[in-house]
C-alpha cells in the first residue's frame, strides 16, 4: 500500500493546516492509501536556531493529538534531525518520500521549504516529486480577514491575549496539558483552590493574565478561571497555569489535567495586599460565571 503524505511543521494546527490535511485525506481515500503527516521531532527551528530557542505554540504530543483528531492514519515523527535536514532536496524526495515512505501523493503549503539550508521550495518539490513518480499538490494560502492564516499570526494573537481570535483560526481551542503539581496551597488559603500545571519551557507563553477557561480532569470538564503567570502578589513563581474550577472539590495532585483558554479577562498584576487579591479573584470568578451564562454553555 502506498501513502499520501502531508508535509509541514503544523505548529498550532490552524485552519490552513486543517484544509491541507482534508485534501490529503480525500486523496488517500480515493487512492486507497495510508494517510501520513510527516513532521520533525524536535521542531527543525529548535535544531537550526539553538541560540534563539524559538518558542512553539504546542508540544509534539498535543500536535500529534490534533493531527490525529483531524483524521490522519499516522503521524511520522522524524527523529533523525540534522541527518535528514542535511540532505539535498533531491535526496530527500528520493530517499525519504519515495523509498522509505512509498509516497504516491504529497501535499505541502505554498511556503514549504526543505533540503539542506532550506534551498528547496514548493515548486522544486513538485518538480522532484514528478521525476520520482509522485503526484504533488501545493496548497495556496488561506486567508481570514484579508490576512493569511499562519502560525506566525497565531503567535501574535497569543502574546496579545487575543485568545478568542486565536481559537477562531485554530482547529481546536488553545489547550495546555500537564500533571497537576503540588504547590504551596496559597490558593486554598485564599479561599480559591487551584490546580497548577507547569508550562513546558519550549512553548510560547500566552499573555500573562487571567482567562475564562475550561479544565478537564478525570474525564470531566469544569468551568474555570485560570491565571497564566507568576503570581506576583504572593509568590513570584516560575510561569505556570493555575486553574480555579468553579464547581469542583478535590485536589487532583499527580493526575493529568487539560486547561483550555476561552476569553482574556485582565492582565496579571501585583496587588498591595492579600485582601485586595481576594477581592479581585472573587470578581474574576463572577465574571467567569457571567461569561458562561451569556454563552449559554
- DSSP annotation of 227 reads E
Contact 219, 256 (CB under 8 A): no
Place 129 in a pLDDT band, splitting at 50, 70 and 90. very high
Average pLDDT over the chain, rounded to an integer: 92
Q: Which three cell numbers stand for residue 9?
A: 511543521
CB 4 within 8 A of CB 104: yes
pLDDT given at position 231: 65
- pLDDT tens across 233-288, in order? 555 567 899 999 998 877 788 999 999 999 999 999 888 888 888 899 999 999 99
pLDDT on residue 53: 65
Please give the average per-residue pLDDT across 33-59, as a whole number.
Answer: 86
Listed in order, strand segments (DSSP E) in the chain are: 3-7, 34-40, 74-78, 103-109, 135-139, 143-144, 147-148, 175-179, 195-198, 209-217, 220-229, 240-245, 256-267
Written as nine digits, the cell of 171 is 482547529
The tens digit of pLDDT for each residue in 220-229 reads: 999 999 999 9
Which band of pLDDT confidence, cut at 50, 70 and 90, is reported for residue 297?
low
Pick from 60-64, 72-76, 176-180, 201-205: least confident = 201-205
Q: What is the pLDDT of residues 1-43, one digit of tens each?
A: 899 999 999 999 999 999 999 999 999 999 999 999 999 999 8
- Beta-bridge mates of residue 114: 120
In b/e form, how buried is each residue of 165-187, taking b as 16+ CB within 10 angstroms?
bbbebbbbebbbbbebeebeebb
In this prediction, residue 48 carries a pLDDT of: 80
Report the pLDDT value the prediction gives residue 15, as an integer from 0 to 100.
98
Q: What is the DSSP letter of 100?
A: I
Q: Residue 276: what pLDDT? A: 87
Contact between 256 and 169 under an 8 Å Cβ cutoff? The reply is no
Query: What's the pLDDT score for residue 266?
Result: 96
Whether the pLDDT of residue 122 is over 80: the answer is yes
CA distance 173 to 182: 26
Which position has the grid cell 485536589? 251
Residue 38's contacts (CB-CB under 8 Å, 6 or more residues apart) are 5, 6, 7, 76, 78, 101
Q: What is the pLDDT of residue 183?
A: 64
The structure's pTM equals 0.91
pLDDT band of residue 191 (cuts 50, 70, 90) is low
Residue pair 235/187 in contact by the 8 Å Cβ criterion:
no
Show Cβ contacts of residue 53 under 8 Å, excluding neighbours closer than 6 positions. Answer: 46, 202
| Confidence class for position 217, pLDDT limits 50, 70, 90 | very high
Percent over 70 (pLDDT), the chain:
93
Beta strand 135-139 with 209-217: parallel, antiparallel or unpaired? unpaired
Task: Catalogue all structural domains in the chain, each as residue range(s) with its CATH number.
Answer: 3-143 (3.40.50.620), 173-295 (2.40.30.30)
Amino acid at each position: 500500500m502506498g501513502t499520501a503524505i502531508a508535509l509541514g511543521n503544523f505548529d498550532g494546527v490552524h485552519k490552513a493546516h486543517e484544509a491541507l490535511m482534508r485534501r490529503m485525506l480525500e486523496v488517500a481515500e480515493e487512492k486507497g492509501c495510508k494517510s501520513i503527516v510527516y513532521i520533525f521531532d524536535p521542531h527543525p527551528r529548535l535544531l537550526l536556531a539553538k541560540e534563539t530557542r524559538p518558542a512553539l505554540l504546542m508540544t509534539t504530543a498535543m500536535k500529534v493529538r490534533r493531527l490525529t483528531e483531524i483524521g490522519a492514519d499516522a503521524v511520522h515523527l522524524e527523529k533523525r534531525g540534522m541527518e535528514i535536514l542535511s540532505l539535498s532536496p533531491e535526496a530527500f524526495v528520493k530517499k525519504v518520500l519515495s523509498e522509505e515512505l512509498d509516497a504516491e501523493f504529497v501535499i505541502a503549503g505554498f511556503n514549504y521549504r526543505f533540503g539542506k539550508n532550506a534551498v528547496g521550495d514548493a515548486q522544486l518539490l513538485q518538480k522532484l516529486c514528478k521525476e520520482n513518480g509522485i503526484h504533488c499538490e501545493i496548497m495556496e494560502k488561506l486567508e481570514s480577514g484579508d490576512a493569511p492564516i499562519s502560525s506566525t499570526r497565531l503567535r501574535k494573537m497569543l502574546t496579545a491575549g487575543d485568545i478568542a481570535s486565536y481559537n477562531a483560526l485554530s482547529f481546536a481551542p488553545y489547550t495546555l496539558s500537564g500533571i497537576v503539581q503540588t504547590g504551596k496551597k496559597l490558593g486554598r488559603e485564599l479561599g480559591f483552590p487551584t490546580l497548577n500545571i507547569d508550562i513546558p519551557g519550549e512553548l510560547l507563553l500566552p499573555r500573562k493574565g487571567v482567562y475564562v477557561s475550561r479544565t478537564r480532569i478525570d474525564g470531566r470538564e469544569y468551568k474555570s478561571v485560570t491565571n497564566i503567570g507568576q503570581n506576583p502578589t504572593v509568590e513570584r513563581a516560575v510561569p505556570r497555569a493555575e486553574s480555579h474550577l468553579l464547581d469542583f472539590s478535590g485536589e487532583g495532585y499527580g493526575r493529568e489535567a487539560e486547561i483550555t483558554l476561552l476569553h482574556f479577562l485582565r492582565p496579571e498584576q501585583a496587588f498591595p495586599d492579600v485582601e485586595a487579591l481576594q477581592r479581585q479573584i472573587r470578581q474574576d470568578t463572577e465574571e467567569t460565571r457571567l461569561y458562561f451564562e451569556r454563552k449559554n454553555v
